[in-house]
Amino acid sequence: MARQAGAYREPMTEAAISIQGLCKTYAVKGGTAKRALDGVTFDVPRGQIFGLLGPNGAGKSTLINILAGLVNKTSGTASIWGFDIDQHPRNAKASIGIVNQEILFDPFFTPVETLEIQAGLYGVPKKQRRSLELLRAVHLEDKANAYARTLSGGMKRRLMVAKAMVHSPPVLVLDEPTAGVDIQLRQQLWEYVRALNEGGVTVVLTTHYLEEAEQLCDRIAIINHGRVVANEPTRELVGRAQEKVVAVTVDRDLTAAPTAPCFEKIVLKGGRVLEITYSKDRVNAGQVLAAVQEQGLGIVDVSTREADLEDVFLSLTRGSAGN
């Protein structure tokens, strides 16, 4: 795929997005003000696929809407492709394409018209427009002239991605682009996102699918209660998971799970399988198995599971439910 970001000047900084001490407090009528972002600082390196994760209500959409110019920040700074969003709002806006959670376009226009109108709004000269190329890339070429309202949910989402790319921004932000999209379409969407990234576009995505984030993202920041609680290369973040799980099948039926100081958690499944969570910086699998044997149980089978992003995510955001 051709480099999408070619039309842009070299940025003044190396970061695609730079956020410093960003705060947002929403005024709530008749109630206490809601602090949605509380001193958020991080950089999105150029050329990466960057995951922004967090539980519901953590502040992700607020952050993205500030970058999009839809929400006014309370304090702090943000720049996109080197352009401060306050000092150079037009350049900042031209440097970013945003796919929001809501599907927004006129249902009576066709996909090709939708893209042409969007290109017009961004002042893209007719000769430089590539509406059909974009539709081809999101597998919507055969729907180019259908009414947008006749598209399926997944097709509409793909049209939203194409719409965000009409002005060839060097940075693309996707806010939960695959929510409610079936697995096959998700895969297609991610293939396109990967291809854009390979073509030089920096991608920021928020997703609730941790497995997806783990597979796609070079780096992940996790926000919780409006604060950054992690910001690391994906591999390092996953490696930080302290807990490991070992499933032990024993040689007889049990009525209750045994206990031992080295078990963080133990669950009895189906009478003979003990699913034991242990902290890998305190004990190793051998010590856990020895503790099972000390209970007078014979071990028939053992399987372990590597920690994944979900483990890290849960341990970093534990206790945040009901926000």
Ligand X SMILES: Nc1ncnc2c1ncn2[C@@H]1O[C@H](COP(=O)(O)OP(=O)(O)OP(=O)(O)O)[C@@H](O)[C@H]1O
Site of interaction with ligand X (CB under 6 A) = 26, 28, 34, 36, 54, 56-62, 323
Q: Give the shortest CB-101-to-ligand X separation in angstroms.
A: 7
Q: How far is the CB of 64 from ligand X (least distance, A)?
A: 8
Which two structure tokens, joined as six digits, stand for 73?
Answer: 């920040």
**Cβ closest to ligand X, residue 65 vs residue 131:** 65
Pairing of strands 202-206, 171-175: parallel
- Residue nearer to ligand X on the CB measure, 32 or 145: 32
Q: How far is the CB of 229 from ligand X (least distance, A)?
A: 13
Cα–Cα distances (Å) from 299 to 27, 200, 262, 288, in that order, read 59, 52, 17, 12
Closer CB to ligand X, 29 or 127, in the complex: 29
Question: Residue 23 phi/psi, 5° resolution?
Answer: -125, 145
In angstroms, the Cα distances linking 196 to 169, 171, 199, 218 are 11, 10, 5, 14
Distance of CA 215 to the CA centre of its chain: 11
Closest approach of Cβ 30 to ligand X, in Å? 12
Tokens of 222: 């996790």
Helix (H, G, I), strand (E, B) or coil at 17: strand
Q: How far apart are CA 156 and CA 148, in angstroms?
A: 7
CB atoms within 10 A of CB 211: 11
Nearer to ligand X, 61 or 202 (CB): 61
Residues 86 and 20: their CA atoms lie apart, in Å, by: 13
Nearer of residues 61 and 168 to ligand X, judged by Cβ: 61
Q: Which is nearer to ligand X, 61 or 234 (CB)?
A: 61
Least Cβ distance, residue 309 to ligand X (angstroms): 16
- The distance of closest approach from Cβ of residue 160 to ligand X in the complex, given in angstroms and rounded to an integer, is 16
Complex with ligand X: residue 94 or 175, whichever CB lies closer: 175
- State how far the Cα of 118 lies from the Cα of 103, in Å rounded to an integer: 14
Q: How far is the CB of 98 from ligand X (least distance, A)?
A: 13
Residue 312 has φ and ψ, to the nearest 5°, of -65, -45
Are 119 and 166 in contact, with CB atoms under 8 Å apart?
A: yes
Alpha-carbon distance 243 to 231, whole Å?
19
